[in-house]
Each structure stands twice: as structure tokens, then as C-alpha cells.
Amino acid sequence: MEVYLLYLGLGAVAGLISGLFGLGGGVVIVPILIFTFTAQGLSPDILTHLAIGTSLATIVITSISSVSAHNRHGAVLWRVALWLTPGICLGAALGAVFAISITGASLQLAFGVFLCLVAGKMAFPINPDGGANMPGPAGKTAVGGVIGFVSSLFGIGGGSLSVPFLTWVRVPVKHAVGTSAACGLPIAVSGALTYLYKGYGAVELPPHAMGYIYLPAFIGIVASSTIFARFGARLAHRLPGDMLSKGFALLLFLIGMRFVWINVRLLVA
């Protein structure tokens, strides 16, 4: 019971921050789970893979609610989302396979670099003007593959990649966000299933893990994160957003640099 209460609390924190700053849940959930699994004494060889697989599993549930909300407002361009989906599913599966094939230290190092890039985008937002036409079927499949691969590698829903791409090809921001949410579901499903399947039989997994998905964390985060994400979204309208975003970007940058520093030392030792 104490373990489930712990993850209910972590889910509340992740949801609040996600709603407050408009971040995809994985950017918050993965580092929180890495720190928590480390404190629980889980093996460094598997804890990062477990954090990413669990994050994707939670995104499966939370993205359903997000897609439904955007669809009610007519913000999802289903034709675009469906063309991107085959590439997304293949890329997400390959991203998970690649992540599992490398060491936990290498994966944390890559995730640390990714967090630093996200922090830079938050602190100095660059919104690309429309500069290209929507690619054809083959192009959309290729783009979907890249989005799926990177998202599954880092345990995120893909919004940090798909929204800039859709905006660049002249999709209005409202529809870019809604369509990105629709793309997040196949990313999470394909990635989570791959982490679950490839993780079966992995050594040093804790009790109550299904492959690289840790059920106590999954249940606790899903139960509380969606509720607190809504609260965070409402709170965002009452607080000085620019100052908060830059402050949180600094925190993400420091966390990312910590992952980079620790794991560079491990890899060169």
C-alpha cells in the first residue's frame, strides 16, 4: 500500500507539472521514475528501461482522454494522423528495441541530452513559420517513423516533435496540437507493447513488473496524473507563465546535465 501511495503522489506531481507547463507527461514522469527506482535500490542495468516503458504505458491511458477532448473541439486532422500512424508504429517499436539493446547508462546519457534540448526550447521558444507543403504518403510515413523512434526511445508522447513539424507544414496551431495528441496514442501503444514483450525474462526486474512496465507505478500515476493535469492547466492561467516556464526550464536543464555528467563519468571509467 505504501508503494501505491508513493506513486499516487508522484502521479499528482507529474500531472500538475504537465498541465501547468503544457509538457508531455513523459518528460516529467521518466526522470521522476528514474530517481524513485534508484532510491528503491533497483538495478541500474534495468531501471531506466523500466522508467521509459512504464511512462509509455501511462501515456496509453492519458492520451485517450486527451484525444477525446481535442476531437470534441474538432481539432484532430484524422487524415494526417492516419497517414503518420504506420510510420509511427514501426518507428516506436524500433525505438524501444534500440533502447533495450543499449546500457542503462547510455540511455540515461541520451535522455539527459534530450532534457537539455527540451529545456532550451522552453526557455527560448522558437515557433517555425510555415515553410513547406505537407509531404506525400511516403514522406508522412518517414516523418512518422522518426517521431515514433525518438518518442519511444525517451518514453514521451511525441508532441515535442510532431507539433513543430505540423506547424512547419502550415497546419494551424490548434489542429497541430490536436493531431499531435492523436499521434501520441499509437506511439504509446506500440512502444509500451514492445517494452512489455522484450522485457519478459529480463534479469533483476522487481516484483509486479510486466516486462519493462512496473505495475505499481503505472496504476498510481494513471490514477492521479489526469486529475492533477486539469488542475495544473487551470492554475497556469492564474500564475506568471513566462517566469514559471523559464524557472522550470532551468530545473529540467539541471536534471538533464546531472544525467549527462553522471553517465559520462560511468561510461569513460
pLDDT over 80 at 140, yes or no: yes
pLDDT at residue 186, rounded to an integer: 94
Give me the pLDDT at residue 121, please: 85
Question: Beta partners for 214?
Answer: 209
The residue among 253 and 17 whose pLDDT is bigger is 253
Q: What is the pTM of this model?
A: 0.91
Residue 224 pLDDT > 90: no
pLDDT tens sequence across 158-179 = 888 888 899 888 888 888 888 9
Residue 127, pLDDT above cutoff 80:
no
**pLDDT tens column, 51-79:** 999 999 999 988 887 888 888 888 899 99
pLDDT in tens, 203-213: 899 999 999 99
Contact 51, 42 (CB under 8 A): no
How large is the average pLDDT for residues 33-52? Answer: 93
Section 215-240 average pLDDT: 82
Judged against a pLDDT cut of 70, whether residue 130 lies above it is answered with no
Please give the pLDDT value at position 26.
84
What mean pLDDT comes out for the span 98-118? 95
Which has more pLDDT, 67 or 129?
67
- Compute the mean pLDDT over every residue in the chain, rounded to the nearest whole number: 88
- The C-alpha atoms of residue 153 and residue 98 are separated, in whole angstroms, by 7
172 or 149, higher pLDDT = 149
Predicted confidence band at 129 (pLDDT cuts at 50, 70, 90)? low
